[in-house]
A = this chain, B = another copy of it.
Amino acid sequence: MVVVMNLTAGPEQIQAVQQRLEQFGFEIHIIRGVNRLVIGAVGDRRMISSLGLESMPGVEKIVPIMKPYKLVSRESKGQNSLVKVKDVVIGGDDIVVIAGPCAVENREQLLTAARMVRQAGAVVLRGGAFKPRTSPYSFQGLEEEGLKLLAEASAETGLVTVTEIIDEASLELALEYVDIIQVGARNMQNFRLLRAVGRSGKPVLLKRGLSATIEEWLMAAEYVVSEGNENVVLCERGIRTYEIATRNTLDLSAVPVVKGQSHLPVIVDPSHATGERKLVAPMARAAVAAGADGLLIEVHPEPDKALSDGPQSLTPEDFSSLMAELRKVATAVGRHIK
């Protein structure tokens, strides 16, 4: 950490900062600049927030040098982590395609979707049973009934399943029925829930918050891993910007940035990011080319009858064509899709 003192900081203020740092075990280096004094302090990055330095008289700003996360950092582990769920491995050479409807609506809809996405090459089935909806007047999901249908679809097709949980009660239910727990964008900083998911030990799909920095996203993953659960898959799903031509702005650069800073696998959700069916295919291809370890794609047997997010869902036919395109792009970048 570097502590920048302001122009008018007097000797006793500098000394006070120095003492505070030494008291917490930091090693001190004083650098006298042209106009101001800078204190380099070597010690435990995680202590910074306890030091209260920014409130001390004479301190202009604190510049941290180390990253605030540790367990999920590339520095703590050079090799890529592999998250294994039954026979599916996320983070290896194979690009993992997760597909299915936004919401589980009924038995026929889900089973039809499951068979069709499996046929096209998806290895994980998605389906929402608990839907966080902006309006209290919108469809909120089938809850446990939806989870049972996911389990049934899995039993029939052999697909691994993933569903979003929205609180500890839904987590407990989901743990019984599905293979991967999804923490949605709105809960990325629901720290209690992250800890609970961490304690569960189940594989986790952690979506990036709508306006989360990559650093905050990795800190959220750190919450899960710090409870002993290393099976975290990150999912970029678009961030909020001023641009309204797309629902969100898909930040594909996040893929190589995360790959550089963390050992965790990262996948991309082009459906929620763009909100528009026609944009899903080009952005899915781009995600694979950028190095994503997987994709999360909404597919609905009859998108115009969907109870949630129909406009962004692919038909099974569209999805099947897309898979053919994705296989070519995967090959072009030295990866593979089942």
Which of A's residues lie within 8 Å of B, judged by CB? 2, 4, 7, 29, 31-36, 38, 40, 42-44, 46, 49-50, 52, 54-57, 63, 65-66, 68-69, 75, 132-140, 166-168, 186-187, 189-193, 195, 210-211, 213-216, 219, 222-223, 226, 239-246, 249-257, 260, 273-274, 277-279, 282-283, 285-291, 303-308, 310-311, 313, 325, 328-329, 331-333
Contact = CB atoms under 8 A, between A and B. Distances in A.
Nearest to A49: B138
Given A286-B290, A333-B325, A242 B245 contact: no
Contact of A75 (B7, B44, B241, B307): B7
A244 B241 contact: no
Given A134-B189, A167-B167, A249-B239, A304 B56 contact: yes
Contacts of A256: 278-279, 282-283
A166 to B, nearest CB: 6
A327 to B, nearest CB: 9
A285 B289 contact: yes
Contact of A219 (B75, B134, B139, B226): B134
Contacts of A31: 29, 40, 42
Contacts of A250: 251-253
Nearest to A4: B65
Nearest to A259: B282
Contact of A243 (B33, B251, B289): B251
Contacts of A75: 7, 35
A252 B254 contact: no
B54 A310 contact: yes
18 contacts: A2-B63, A2-B65, A40-B40, A46-B135, A49-B308, A52-B303, A52-B304, A55-B310, A63-B63, A134-B189, A136-B195, A167-B193, A211-B211, A213-B244, A215-B245, A241-B251, A245-B254, A286-B289
